[in-house]
């Protein structure tokens, strides 16, 4: 399961990561967030070692939500070398998540 990170360790885990990083901005009360959680867990397990997956709780880490312009949950942002490469708002199926990440990596 994706590790929850905060503003305190976001830079080291995301911006400073040598791997591509998928960040799930979520809230505990969001139904779509609960729907995508197992999809992300499976994705993380299947791609271990080639991509890092983290979660940011928008209810607690408003600073990060504001910094990255997150206005709805869930918002997935793919970072490569600390740069945003792709963004998706809403839950995704496993196939759609694969396409989203592949598209971001190839952009």
pLDDT by residue (tens digit) across 46-55? Answer: 999 999 999 9
Give the global pTM: 0.96
Position 70 scores a pLDDT of 97
Catalytic residues: 30, 33
The predicted model gives 59-88 an average pLDDT of 96
Give tens-digit pLDDT for 14-48. Answer: 999 999 999 999 999 999 999 999 999 999 999 99
Quick check: 107 pLDDT over 90? no
3 closest CA partner among 76, 52, 70, 60: 52
| Token code pair at residue 22 | 């998928």
CATH architecture of 3-99: 3-Layer(aba) Sandwich (3.40)
């Amino acid at each position: 399961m994706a590790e929850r990170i905060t503003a305190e360790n976001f830079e080291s885990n995301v911006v400073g990561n040598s791997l591509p990083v998928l960040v799930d901005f979520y809230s505990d009360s969001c139904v779509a967030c609960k729907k995508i959680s197992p999809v992300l867990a499976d994705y993380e397990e299947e791609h271990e070692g080639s991509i890092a997956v983290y979660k940011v709780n928008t209810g607690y880490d408003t600073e990060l939500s504001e910094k990255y312009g997150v206005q709805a949950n869930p918002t997935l942002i793919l970072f490569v070398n600390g740069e945003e490469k792709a963004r998706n708002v809403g839950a995704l199926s496993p196939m759609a998540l694969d396409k989203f990440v592949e598209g971001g990596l190839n952009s």
